[in-house]
Every structure is written in C-alpha cells, then in structure tokens.
Amino acid sequence: MPLSSSRAAAVRTSEARNVTVGIYTGDSSSMVALLKVGRIFTENRRLGFFRVKLLPVLVVQGVRLEFTESMPNTNWPAGFRVNPAPLARPGTSLEWRDVSVRFPQDVQPRLQAGQLHPPTRTDGESCLLENVTLRTDAGALHVSRARLLLNGLTGRVVWESPGGVQQWDLFTRSLISEPSKKLTINQ
C-alpha cells in the first residue's frame, strides 16, 4: 500500500493546476493582461505509435490570454515568453494546447489555436500556431499553421497561402495580403 500512495503523491507534485500570471506594462505600474493556465504537466513525446521517455514534453493545457485593454503598445508579447515551469529539465520541449486570446469587448476569443509552440530562444521572433481560428471583421477564418509575431509588427499572425503571404492583425482584426512575398521567420 505505501508504494501506491507514494506513486499518487509523485503524480500530484509533477503537475500544476489553475495558474494565473499577470502581464504588466514596461514600468510595471498597470496590468495589461492575465495569462491563465488550466494545467501544466509533462508527457512523453509521440513518434508514430510510440511514446519516447527520453523526449519529454512540458504541456501547458488550457491557456487563456485575457487582455484588460485593447492597446497594442503594451508588453503583451511577454505572455508568450513566460516559462510556466522554470525548474523543468533542460532540453524539455514546451507545447501550449487549447490556446485562446480574448479582449474585453469580445464575445468569442479573437484567436484560438489547438497548439502553440513558444520560441525556443528568449529573443525568438515568433510562436508557431497549429489549428488556428481567427475572428476577422468578415467572420471566422481557419488556418492549419501560422506564426504569431512577437517582434517588429507585434500582434500579427502570418501564414502562407497559394496566393502569397497572408497576415491578420490581432488588434484591428483586419486581413492583409502580400502576394509576392515568401514567409521567412526565425524561431
């Protein structure tokens, strides 16, 4: 019996639930957003049908970035640079699942993604998004893979389509297309 109770305790300590992190302006005087996480845990990476114990993945499940204001001049990209488990083993990959971004006036999340892969470096330029739904002025738009820019034109979601590079502005909800460009972003 003691063996099974120690295993249960080990499972509980390797997981966090209902984590909330405030994101503040550069001078740390006012909060511009809340990053809410439902659950943080580690799982083994899948390669086909197999799970590989030597390739752990830190999973951040149920991520909601909730803005308190609609101003793009804030420090909001810091939310995607947050390390929800600073004591995780080195070399552990990080994956956010069920991600949504919401503004105060929105009825539905403005951006939803099945998976978000934060930048691997602290100075990374973008996050990789998979299974994305964007709420544009014209309605919902579904994209299989895109990038959320964190530097330069922050708040832009960029993806390639047969017609060229498409962009969507998180703050204005407007679509922008650039037919002759190719998508080149370093992570």
Residue pLDDT, tens place only, 90-128: 455 788 899 999 988 888 999 999 999 887 776 778 889
Give the residue numbers spanning the domain of 29: 16-178
List, as one string, the DSSP characters of 140-156: EEEEEEEEEE-SSSTTE
Mean pLDDT of 5-14: 40
The answer as to whether 110 is a domain residue is yes
The answer as to whether 1 is a domain residue is no
| Angle value at C-alpha 25, between 19 and 31, nearest 5 degrees | 45
The answer as to whether 105 is a domain residue is yes
Assess whether pLDDT exceeds 70 at residue 165. Answer: yes
Q: Which residue has the higher pLDDT, 8 or 76?
A: 76
Assess whether pLDDT exceeds 90 at residue 86. Answer: no
The answer as to whether 104 is a domain residue is yes
The answer as to whether 126 is a domain residue is yes
Q: Which residue has the higher pLDDT, 7 or 150?
A: 150
Residue 147's Cα: distance from chain center in Å? 10
Q: Which residue has the higher pLDDT, 127 or 52?
A: 127
Of the ranges 27-36, 48-57, 109-118, the best mean pLDDT one: 109-118
| Paired residues of 166 in beta bridges | 159, 177
The answer as to whether 85 is a domain residue is yes
**pLDDT band at residue 62, thresholds of 50, 70 and 90?**
very high
Mean pLDDT of 43-70: 74
Q: What is the C-alpha separation between 58 and 92, in angstroms, rounded?
A: 6
**pLDDT band at residue 50, thresholds of 50, 70 and 90?**
low
Assess whether pLDDT exceeds 50 at residue 4. Answer: no
Domain count, the chain: 1
Q: What is the C-alpha separation between 55 and 17, in angstroms, rounded?
A: 23
> How close are the terminal C-alpha atoms of the chain, in Å?
48
Mean pLDDT of 158-181: 81
The answer as to whether 158 is a domain residue is yes
Order of strands, sheet of 16-24, starting from the edge strand that comes earlier in the sequence: 16-24, 31-47, 50-67, 93-102, 111-117, 126-136, 139-149, 156-161, 164-169, 175-178
Whole-number pLDDT of residue 97: 92
Tokens for 185, please give them. 């972003």
**pLDDT band at residue 142, thresholds of 50, 70 and 90?**
very high
The answer as to whether 7 is a domain residue is no
Mean pLDDT of 19-23: 82
